[in-house]
Amino acid sequence: MKLARRDLLKLAGGAALGTFFTPAPWKALDDVSIWTQNWSWMPVPPRGEATTRFTTCTLCPAGCPVRARCIGKQPVSLAGVGGGLCPAGLAGHHLPHYPGRVRGASHRGTRCTMDAAVAAVREVAKGGRVAILDQRPGRTASLVYRRWLAGQEGGLYLTPPAREDATLVALGGGLAFNLDEARTVVSFGAPLMEGWGSMARVLESRPKFHLVQIEARQSRTASMADTWLPAKPGTEAALALGLAHLLGSQDAGRFTPEYVERITGVPAAQVRQVARRMKDAGPAVVIGGGDPAGPFNREEEQAIAGLNLLAGAMGRTIVPRAEVPVPAGFDKLAAETALDDVPDGGIRLLIIDEAASGNPVPWSYLKRKLAPGAMVAAAACSLDGYASHADYVLPAPVYMETAQDVPAACDSPAATFSMAPGLLAPPEETIEPADFVLRVAGEGGTLAELLKARVEAIHKTRRGSVVTYADGTATPLAEMASADDLAKAFKAGARWTDAGTSSEAPGIAFAAVDAAAIERRAASAQFPLALVPFGWRGAAGPVSPIFSKLYQESRVRSSEGEARLNPATAREYGILDGGLMVVETSCGSQAMTACLDEGVMPGVIEAAIEPGTGVLEICDVEDWCGWRTAPARMRRA
Amino acid sequence: MAAKTKARYGMSIDVDRCTGCGACMVACAVENNIPPAPEGATDRKGITWIRVYKIDNGLPFPQNRSAWVPVLCQQCGEHTPCVSVCPQNAVEVDKTTGVVGQIPERCLGCRYCMAACPYQARYFNWWDPVWPAGMEKTLNPTVSPRMRGVVEKCNFCHGRLHEARAKAAAAGRREIDPADYVPACVEACPAQAITFGDLDDRNSQVARESREGSAFHLLERLHTGPKITYRSGRPWVHDALEIKVANNKKEPVRG
Amino acid sequence: MIRGKLFFAAGLLASLSAGWLGFPSMLYERVPQPLDFNHVAHTEKASMSCQDCHSLKEDGTFSGIPKVESCAACHAEPMGTTKAEKLLVERYVKPQREIPWLVYSRQPQNVWFSHASHLKLAKFECTECHGGHGKTRHLRPFERNRISGYSRDIWGPSISRIGAGRRPGMKMDDCIDCHRANHREHSCIECHK
Amino acid sequence: MDKELIIRGVRRASMGRFLLWLVPWAALLAFGVYAAGLCLYKGLGETNMDNRFAFGLWIFLDLSVIALGAGAFFTGFLFYILKKKELKAVINSAVVIGFVCYSGAVVVLAVDVGQPLRAWFTFWHPNVHSMLTEVTFCITCYLGVLAVEYVPILLKNRKLREVPRFLVFEWELHRLMYVLAAVGTFLSFFHQGSLGGLYGVLQGRPFAFREGFALWPSTFFLFILSAMAVGPSFMVLTTSLVQKITRKALVKPEVMQEMGRISGILLIVYVLAKTVDTLVWINSTSPSLGFPAHRFYASGPFGTWILFAEIVLFGLVPALILLSRDRRARMPWLISAASLACCGIVLNRFVMTIQTQAVPSLPFLPFVTYTPNWQEVGTFLAVVAYGVLVYSISFRYLPLFPQEKDLAR
């Protein structure tokens, strides 16, 4: 039989017809659609038992209690305990997977062993003039640094200048704010509503006080303040002296409201109004600094802090706070040294603990303090910060991996202690920065052991009470049988709060304010253009990749390399919204994208110090002390 | 009394409390397995089920004042613009919760619902989602990640409702404990600017707040019946959101 | 003319048999389970109840298949002589490795199924969905759909889904049939996540 | 072989020249297929569309192409149902153009949706309230109708006519043609309308939203009317374009004029309806939704000039030209008027798709702009190339213009 073309056609026709009466095409169509619903390249969330664990956030000084929803041991979402969390805290469990994470110790870019790093650092340390920059003072790790430095010749214990408790430090230390008592809060640029002290506490007290925000830019805090006084950048301290004058200070004789208006641009009537409020609607408290982007210099901070004495804050809104008990063996501790006081070229070995992100200091500023050929060792999680300039980079565990204690925030009237127990195991190659210093010191022991000793020391006091995060129950410490019970409670998530706050007015003899210096600075701050960096807590350290939501996808935060300026200023320089511009200071220039904003003071360029920008570096103008503002030039690119 | 298994979930957002920190956006992304935007993506291609917008009073410095308005799916109740347009029933209003659900597995990605939504609260997966290596371990198992080519949006953290219901069921109850069901953004907000709950329960905080004099809906006159209510005591915020224009025949806000 | 009809019929027949017989066997890939678990031995010889291993927890989650540590409670060393048990001890208990069970009834990632509400509220018996799985002596091979990756149990044993027999399948349509009959069909997101 | 395929009595270019003509179009098609493949493989992130501009170039051009392709159904309707016998001269060409437009649009839609493999869900789980469901059903069915209508034209090929069975089949199909034309008209009527309804029902978009009659918003009827009005104009344009390119007389001028006249009558009706609709929208619909209409024209490049252009320049003007016997008798006038009318419908579809999305709904959102990128343009050009290829081949081997033989003599 010969097959004709027609026969084959018939065959095919029959087959085609038949196929429609089988499940094959329909099932295949269905399965193909199901395939698109389960593509193999789609990530699959973990399966397993859901558990709840607790920790304390170490990403900023607030130390918020955190509830972690976990699958097995892996946290999959975080929440505050009895309150919210900030964006950084909410995505803290992503940090172990930060794409730019440091893996393994290295010496100038080449891998080395930890032992080699320890040996090299120890060798240099023998020569003295050793300094440690501790980004998060007040921890047990800080005690380790201070003890070691006390034994070194010329050992310097450094902390970042732009601290939230800068005002308290200026008043002599050992103090805390008590916002709950305050009815008027005068903030000199402190980001009270954005991340300062403990967010939960600030928000709880907020309805009770009138907030006066003195800040050149309309920050979030300024826009939410009851009164906003936009003083020209660099003239804030003059405004402080103006207020001091109205509150009866002798030092500030020349600073009449009219004179202040001329310098700062704040109407005299408003200055009077604020002074009246401080007098009549007390108790008042004056807070300076704390802006992550830049600190006030010493004179400025002192002028601001001094207002508290005039306003009668001491003992009411600023109270003495006891230290958390320290275990034996920490008798000799190096005192804090202000970075400003370190002579240029005065450091031979600088160890930086940047595992806990703090307020950044421009590298150029640190570099000036280094002797030629000085060694820098940075314990860091990523290369974005100082680690990129360091000789030795020591990979540090990140939040969730690190077992740390969390000191009290600056607005906690009582001493507190809590712990981040380290919910995840750190990668093998990492080292706790304090353990590194302990190894360099050759003192033996680990941070974990010292934490245990500290818990024992706390337990010995029998004071105060312990609140567990899980159910909020408070147990008097005296009722805890053993230090082990206390340690267990801390591990499971708990906070110890010292008994009773002291309302005793600390006897502070305040140093006279150098009004002349402030006047000089304020007068020289009358430049046509000012570059004002701004940042937010945690911006200096690594952040979760999810932050693209805030930078890129919603623009709720300024994205990398964006400068905000007033439309009038932009017009003057011929700059368009979204256009490229170059900002220049005496120490460098930076290309930025213009973003026009009526909320910015004319003549001011606001630049975010988000990760990856070099803004801070060009703000560090040498003869202008500090990087809070910098005289700048600008042109269209 | 019969078990209360029906609810009309809603939110009340206090614009005056919002500090614009973005915690809600991050919490939402973490909870709902929303990937970070790829390099080079713009604010118009990324996915943020809740997005915080900055508004201002339009005055020059120093009279200028800003406020922040978090905008998420408004869970429209009456003429839900997106439900009626979906050609294959991937969008619908759940009668027992009032939540507008979007099923990515049913969606064919025609984006008609996005064109229909006046609140710009719907987002399209322009790419397959990518998390940095290792980060898939941190994904939330109660929400399935979405593939490219489908639309997604806020569903009041429905995964949490699932869990709350399972918990209630394990105890033999049909009605859930309201404390067990709080969306991630509400829980995360440090300023506690967002209240969540059952609008049909007249005594709930959210229902009370929604009835306040300063309460309003976005684009009220479109008669979409949103279940998100905003509040502000600042007249300029009302002006900037054109509440007066939109509500010139001010109808009582349904709470 | 007859000849043409014959060819047509031959084509028809070929495609019908290919579609009804060849296609299903090609579509599914048979994967053996890592261990041959004997449910009967555990329930009868060891007199364990189903809940000993598959339990509902207070938070509403279902334990599913127990972890290897539960097995280790009894099988730290082999108790019997079966090959499967020896394999269990050597390959999983001692190295503390989880057994990669292939779950016949595993729903895809986008489905939220609450055992709690079906057991406690709807008062289902396990057998209503899982059939007599608890009474088996051997584990049948897992049949994986080559296109979609699903277990064959989801579609059900009958390729046409007509007259599926005792086990009706676990496709969405099967869920909906029951939900609809019980007036519990509210929305997609009730069961999809 | 090639010679044997060509219809008796007409002259066609040499095979070489014909291939030369095809090559650039084929290259364009290949480029476009690559661009579309990129979008399918990597996702629609390859395009410039985004969450604010969820519909872009493709939807706009789909709507335009389908509107212009309406010539197919409307000519069929006039010829088969209303028995306008003179349109026999263009009916075949109309069917091919309709087929090309519709199949092209469907292909682009398949790239445009994020999950084309799930497109059948619309048939299995349809939402009967959605205009898009109506569009999908009607377009798919109508594409089927067009394919069936295309078959008898194919069978008119010289070589295929040699098969006696095909001749019978063709004859049978011809008897069926009246039914098909009726079904096609019905389907087209609905999908042209529902394409308009697509936007008219968007309550959340006051720029597009229109009050309705019965089930449908006014745009439903306006789209039908405008498509019917412009369909013949587009036929005039394409026919004269083919005549230009092939340098042959294909259709008697009277036929062209007749099509122009029909276009003109419908266009003037459309312009009137559109004017009334716009006035109602400005004075009632839009303000009642809280959007004073002037706001839509306040920012961006879209001023009120666009309304003027749509209604007067591209509506009233061509309508008046086409209605004047003297003007339309002169080819340049006829062509210009037909072009204006076609521009008008494209502009209308542009306004409905693009401007609707560009104007913000929330008061704090800015006016947004969008420019298609090469992947989008490329994909669309592929459809144009495909259309040209199908039409060219059809023209060469099939009797698209029955009068050609007579006119050639």
C11/A12 touch (CB, cutoff 8 Å), yes or no: yes
Give residues 23 to 42 of D whose Cβ lies within 8 Å of B: 42
The span from the CA of A50 to the CA of A47, in Å, is 9
D290/B247 touch (CB, cutoff 8 Å), yes or no: yes
Tell me which of D239 and C2 has the higher pLDDT. Answer: D239
Nearest to A22 among C3, C15, C149 (CB): C15
Q: List the Cα angle C117/A52/B138 in 5-degree steps.
A: 95
Would you state the pLDDT for residue B250?
40
Q: Collect all residues of chain B within an 8 Å Cβ-Cβ radius of residue A46.
A: 137, 139, 141
A550/B65 touch (CB, cutoff 8 Å), yes or no: no
Q: Which stretches of B116-249 are assigned E, i.e. beta strand?
A: 123-124, 151-152, 194-198, 215-216, 228-231
Q: In the complex, which subunits touch A with 3 or more CB pairs below 8 angstroms?
A: B, C, D
What are the pLDDT digits (tens) for A189-234? 999 998 899 988 999 999 999 999 999 889 999 999 999 999 999 8
Give residues 30 to 59 of A whose Cβ lies within 8 Å of D: 32-33, 35-36
Count how many pairs of residues, chain B against chain C, have C-beta atoms within 8 Å. 79
Average pLDDT (A513-520) is 79
Please, what is the average pLDDT of chain A?
A: 89
Establish if A29 touches chain D: CB-CB under 8 angstroms.
yes
Contact of C173 with C181, CB cutoff 8 Å: no
Dihedral angle at the C-alpha atoms of A240, A242, A244, A248, nearest 10 degrees?
Answer: 180
Q: Is the confidence at residue C163, as pLDDT, over 90?
A: no
Average pLDDT (A97-104) is 89
The span from the CA of D278 to the CA of D271, in Å, is 10
The span from the CA of A148 to the CA of D314, in Å, is 86
Q: Of all residues in chain B, what percent carry a pLDDT higher than 90?
A: 80
Q: Mind telling me how many Å the CA of C173 is from chain B's nearest CA?
A: 14
C189/B99 touch (CB, cutoff 8 Å), yes or no: yes
Would you state the pLDDT for residue D117?
94
Would you state the pLDDT for residue B255?
37
Q: Mind telling me how many Å the CA of C19 is from chain A's nearest CA?
A: 5
Q: List the Cα angle B74/B80/B85 in 5-degree steps.
A: 125
Residue B39, judged by CB atoms within 10 A of its CB (0-12, 13-18, 19+), counts as: exposed
What are the pLDDT digits (tens) for A135-148? 889 999 999 999 99
Q: Collect all residues of chain B within an 8 Å Cβ-Cβ radius of residue C58.
A: 167, 170-171
Would you state the pLDDT for residue A557?
84
What are the pLDDT digits (tens) for A264-297? 999 999 999 999 999 999 799 999 877 777 888 8
The span from the CA of A419 to the CA of A324, in Å, is 13
B172/C121 touch (CB, cutoff 8 Å), yes or no: yes
What three-state secondary structure class fits B124? Answer: strand
- The single-letter DSSP state of residue D168 is H
A16/C11 touch (CB, cutoff 8 Å), yes or no: yes
Chains C vs D: touching, with 3+ CB pairs under 8 Å?
no
Q: Which residue from D minimizes the CA distance to A32?
A: D117
Q: How confident is the model at residue B252 (pLDDT cuts 50, 70, 90)?
A: very low
Q: How confident is the model at residue B249 (pLDDT cuts 50, 70, 90)?
A: very low
Would you state the pLDDT for residue A511?
62
The span from the CA of D7 to the CA of D396, in Å, is 8
Would you state the pLDDT for residue B254?
41
A568/B60 touch (CB, cutoff 8 Å), yes or no: yes
A98/B46 touch (CB, cutoff 8 Å), yes or no: no
Q: What letter represents residue D106's amino acid?
A: V
Q: In the complex, which subunits touch C with 3 or more CB pairs below 8 angstroms?
A: A, B
> What's the N-to-C CA distance of chain D in angstroms?
25
Count how many pairs of residues, chain B against chain D, have C-beta atoms within 8 Å. 163
What are the pLDDT digits (tens) for D221-262? 999 999 999 999 999 999 999 999 998 889 999 999 999 999
Establish if B223 touches chain D: CB-CB under 8 angstroms.
yes
Q: Is the confidence at residue B218, as pLDDT, over 60?
A: yes
Query: Interface of chain D against chain A, CB under 8 Å?
Result: 115, 117-118, 120-121
Would you state the pLDDT for residue B209?
93
Q: Mind telling me how many Å the CA of D196 is from chain B's nearest CA?
A: 13
B134/A87 touch (CB, cutoff 8 Å), yes or no: no
Establish if D294 touches chain B: CB-CB under 8 angstroms.
no
A10/C8 touch (CB, cutoff 8 Å), yes or no: yes
B46/A600 touch (CB, cutoff 8 Å), yes or no: no
What are the pLDDT digits (tens) for D112-132? 999 999 999 999 999 999 999
Contact of D154 with D160, CB cutoff 8 Å: yes
Average pLDDT (C37-47) is 89
The span from the CA of C2 to the CA of A167, in Å, is 105
Q: How confident is the model at residue C164 (pLDDT cuts 50, 70, 90)?
A: low
Lowest mean pLDDT among B224-233, C64-73, D259-268: C64-73
Establish if B120 touches chain C: CB-CB under 8 angstroms.
no
Establish if D358 touches chain B: CB-CB under 8 angstroms.
no
Average pLDDT (C135-161) is 90
Average pLDDT (D60-76) is 89
> What's the N-to-C CA distance of chain B in angstroms?
24
Going by their DSSP bridges, the two strands A604-608 and A580-585 should be labelled as unpaired
Give residues 216 to 275 of D whose Cβ lies within 8 Å of B: none
Establish if B227 touches chain A: CB-CB under 8 angstroms.
no
Establish if C182 touches chain A: CB-CB under 8 angstroms.
no
Q: Is the confidence at residue C179, as pLDDT, over 50?
A: yes
Q: Which residue from B minimizes the CA distance to D364?
A: B55
- The residue of D117, D122, D364, D365 whose CB has the most chain A CBs within 10 angstroms, and thus the best one to mutate to test that interface, is D117
Closest CA to B179 of A55, C122, A204, A82: A82
Establish if B77 touches chain C: CB-CB under 8 angstroms.
no
Would you state the pLDDT for residue A34?
94
What are the pLDDT digits (tens) for B53-66? 999 998 998 899 99
B45/D51 touch (CB, cutoff 8 Å), yes or no: yes
Q: How confident is the model at residue A1 (pLDDT cuts 50, 70, 90)?
A: low
Tell me which of A636 and A623 has the higher pLDDT. Answer: A636
Mark out the alpha helices in chain B (DSSP H runs): 23-31, 81-85, 112-116, 158-170, 184-188, 205-211, 235-240, 243-246
Helix/strand/coil (H, E, C) string of A412-424?
CCCCEEEEECCCC
Average pLDDT (A458-482) is 92
B43/A555 touch (CB, cutoff 8 Å), yes or no: yes
Q: Mind telling me how many Å the CA of D118 is from chain A's nearest CA?
A: 5
Q: Collect all residues of chain B within an 8 Å Cβ-Cβ radius of residue C117.
A: 165-166, 169
Q: Collect all residues of chain C within an 8 Å Cβ-Cβ radius of residue B106.
A: 188
Dihedral angle at the C-alpha atoms of A48, A49, A50, A53, nearest 10 degrees?
Answer: -110
Q: Collect all residues of chain A within an 8 Å Cβ-Cβ radius of residue C24.
A: 23
Would you state the pLDDT for residue B14?
96
A94/B138 touch (CB, cutoff 8 Å), yes or no: yes
Average pLDDT (A179-195) is 93
Interface predicted TM-score (ipTM) of this complex, two decimals: 0.93
Going by their DSSP bridges, the two strands A392-395 and A106-107 should be labelled as antiparallel
Q: Which residue from B minimizes the CA distance to C114?
A: B166
- The residue of A71, A547, A554 whose CB has the most chain B CBs within 10 angstroms, and thus the best one to mutate to test that interface, is A554
What are the pLDDT digits (tens) for C99-125? 999 999 999 999 999 999 999 999 998
Please, what is the average pLDDT of chain D?
A: 91
A553/B52 touch (CB, cutoff 8 Å), yes or no: no
Mark out the alpha helices in D156-299 (DSSP H runs): 164-200, 218-246, 253-280, 286-288
Q: Which residue from A minimizes the CA distance to B123?
A: A553
Q: Which residue from D minimizes the CA distance to B89?
A: D127
Give residues 14 to 33 of C whose Cβ lies within 8 Å of A: 14-16, 18-20, 23-24, 27
Q: Is the confidence at residue B253, as pLDDT, over 60?
A: no
A32/D117 touch (CB, cutoff 8 Å), yes or no: yes
Q: Is the confidence at residue A608, as pLDDT, over 90?
A: no
What are the pLDDT digits (tens) for A291-338? 777 888 888 888 899 899 989 898 899 999 988 999 988 989 999 998
- The residue of B26, B42, B142 whose CB has the most chain A CBs within 10 angstroms, and thus the best one to mutate to test that interface, is B26
Lowest mean pLDDT among C125-139, D217-231, D253-267: C125-139
Average pLDDT (C87-105) is 92
Nearest to B86 among D50, D116, D127 (CB): D127
Residue labelled with tokens 């006829």: D334
What are the pLDDT digits (tens) for D288-339? 988 888 888 987 788 899 999 999 999 999 999 999 999 999 999 999 999 9
